[in-house]
């Protein structure tokens, strides 16, 4: 089953935003691992390399599609991608819509190339 190969990582500047989106995705993709990371280390608004790295390493899936809300979250994802053995696929798509689409398609066991094609339509330029 393809869903065992892929997980979803959500990175937001606000814990509640990441957690809320994770709850939404779990409604449509019960079999997909969704990990949410939000906020700075002190609990304030921001992102943390250490929190993102820890969340990624906790995931069992070898391939992880990552969605982010703002630029510094993407920067932390890029740094993490250089420090892990996992295949981290950073998706420059709309945060909510992109993650939701991927969750639904992974749950339906859609081939990855089809997921990539559909996700392109939600990329933020």
Residue 51, helix vs strand vs coil: helix
98 is annotated as an active-site residue: no
The residue assigned the tokens 């606000």 is: 14
Structure tokens at 50: 């250490």
Q: Is the pLDDT of residue 21 over 70?
A: yes
Q: So what's the pLDDT on residue 94?
A: 96
pLDDT band at residue 4 using 50, 70 and 90 as cut-offs: confident
User: For residue 6, which phi and psi values (nearest 5 degrees)?
Assistant: -115, 140
Its domain, for residue 62, covers 2-121
Domain count for the chain:
1
| Separation CA 62–CA 74 (nearest Å) | 20
pLDDT band at residue 3 using 50, 70 and 90 as cut-offs: low
Name the average pLDDT for the chain. 95
pLDDT band at residue 25 using 50, 70 and 90 as cut-offs: very high
| Separation CA 53–CA 55 (nearest Å) | 5
Instruction: Select from 53, 52, 55, 66 the least CA-distant residue to 6.
Output: 66
Choosing from 13, 51, 74, 86, the catalytic residue is 13
pLDDT tens per residue across span 54-109: 999 999 999 999 999 999 999 999 999 999 999 999 999 999 999 999 999 999 99
User: The domain spanning residue 11 has which CATH number?
Assistant: 3.40.50.510
pLDDT band at residue 124 using 50, 70 and 90 as cut-offs: confident
Structure tokens at 23: 């709850």
On the CB side of 120, how many CA atoms lie within 13 Å of its CA? Answer: 6
Q: So what's the pLDDT on residue 1?
A: 53
**DSSP for residue 123:** B
């Amino acid at each position: 089953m393809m869903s065992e190969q892929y997980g979803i990582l959500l990175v937001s500047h606000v814990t509640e935003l990441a957690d809320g989106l994770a709850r939404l995705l779990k409604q449509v993709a019960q079999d997909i691992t969704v990990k949410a990371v939000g906020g700075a280390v002190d609990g304030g608004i921001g992102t943390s390399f250490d929190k993102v790295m820890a969340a990624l390493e906790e995931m069992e899936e070898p391939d992880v599609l990552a969605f982010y809300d703002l630029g510094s979250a993407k920067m932390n994802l890029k740094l993490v991608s250089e420090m892990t053995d996992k295949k981290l696929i950073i998706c420059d798509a709309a945060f909510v819509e992109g993650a939701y689409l991927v969750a639904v398609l992974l749950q339906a066991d859609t081939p990855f190339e089809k997921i990539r094609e559909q996700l392109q339509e939600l990329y933020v330029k």
